[in-house]
Amino acid sequence: MTRYIVKRFGTSLATLFFIIVLTFILMHSVPGGPFAQEKEAPPEVLDALNHKYHLDKPLIVQFFEYLGDLVRFDLGPSFKYTGRTVNDFIVNGAPFSMRLGLVTLVFVLLAAIPMGILAARRNGRWPDAVVMVLATLGVTIPSFVAAAGLMYVFSYRLNWVPTFGLDKPSSYVLPVLALGGYSLSFLARLMRSSLLEVMGQDYIRTARAKGISEVRVITRHALRNAIIPVLTVLGPTVAGLLTGSFVIEKIFAIPGMGSYFVDSVTQRDYTTIMGMTAFYAAFLIAMVFVVDLFYRLVDPRIQFG
């Protein structure tokens, strides 16, 4: 177990390093720079800005200076917001993104697994058809389209819930539905197909032949194996939900990390793009690692290499 953890930690660091290198190269490959939109600024001012933020140094020097700061958890200053750092954006935005993501995650898990079980148990009947239609709609409709439609119906037409912020419980309804729609649909479909496959195994038929109730067969025997594929995709899903959806936060005016990231991309704010990408990648890698460890808890027969 210890050897596996050390090995995974090493591969995780290598993956994170590769992501940082790739992001740095792609970001500096795009023509222009963070101050290219300062059309009215004279060349002397642009030179001074580039010198202040060390953008006049060779790229390899900039990269290793950034790595040095990153090791000290210093993600650097924002090029666009004077006096603010990328650390400020994460510290201020993470609570909103995490809060929204956690509520969405609970909603997705509480809805997706029962929906998948219901569809599998009623395979070929109307409950299965209803669940599959809803799941297909959730997978195919982009989140920003769902967000716009929900806002139009429930906020503009019915005036049931607010359209922005996270100030009160009702303000979570639309962002949670829009953010969790895809994950809910995907996990429900995955749970259904996995459970259908497990329910056809010999040990399930043996359990039924012994007279064990159907509820006990599902909860004590089938779910343990059927939920493993769901756990596999749960790591990236958790990371994606907890770090926030960039578009959803922008649409609902939620001051999470996503809104800062969208602004940084449009404004070519190098350090913010790098910092947000590194933070998201590190969180995603950590969540995948935690999920891998959960495999052993769900099924003790699984051995780590």
Output the average pLDDT for the chain.
83
Predicted local distance difference test score (pLDDT) of residue 18: 92
CB–CB of 118/127 below 8 Å? yes
Would you call 77 helix, strand, or coil by DSSP?
strand
Q: How confident is the model at residue 115 (pLDDT cuts 50, 70, 90)?
A: very high
Nearest CA to 46 out of 64, 63, 32, 61 is that of 32
Predicted local distance difference test score (pLDDT) of residue 296: 67
Q: Distance between CA atoms of 186 and 229, rounded to whole angstroms? A: 12
pLDDT tens profile 292-304 = 777 766 666 666 6
Strands (E), 128-222: none
pLDDT tops 60 at residue 38: no
pLDDT tops 70 at residue 39: no
Predicted local distance difference test score (pLDDT) of residue 110: 92
Average pLDDT rounded to a whole number, residues 209-236: 82
Would you call 85 helix, strand, or coil by DSSP?
strand
CB–CB of 87/73 below 8 Å? yes
CB–CB of 75/271 below 8 Å? yes
Predicted local distance difference test score (pLDDT) of residue 176: 92
236: CB partners within 8 A, 6+ apart: 284, 287, 288
Average pLDDT rounded to a whole number, residues 15-31: 86
Q: Distance between CA atoms of 120 and 135, rounded to whole angstroms? A: 13
Q: Distance between CA atoms of 216 and 201, rounded to whole angstroms? A: 16
Does 43 or 172 have the greater pLDDT score?
172
Average pLDDT rounded to a whole number, residues 232-257: 78
Predicted local distance difference test score (pLDDT) of residue 111: 92
CB–CB of 273/23 below 8 Å? yes
Nearest CA to 260 out of 140, 148, 96, 32 is that of 96
CB–CB of 103/288 below 8 Å? no
Average pLDDT rounded to a whole number, residues 119-141: 87
What percentage of the chain exceeds 70 in pLDDT?
Answer: 93
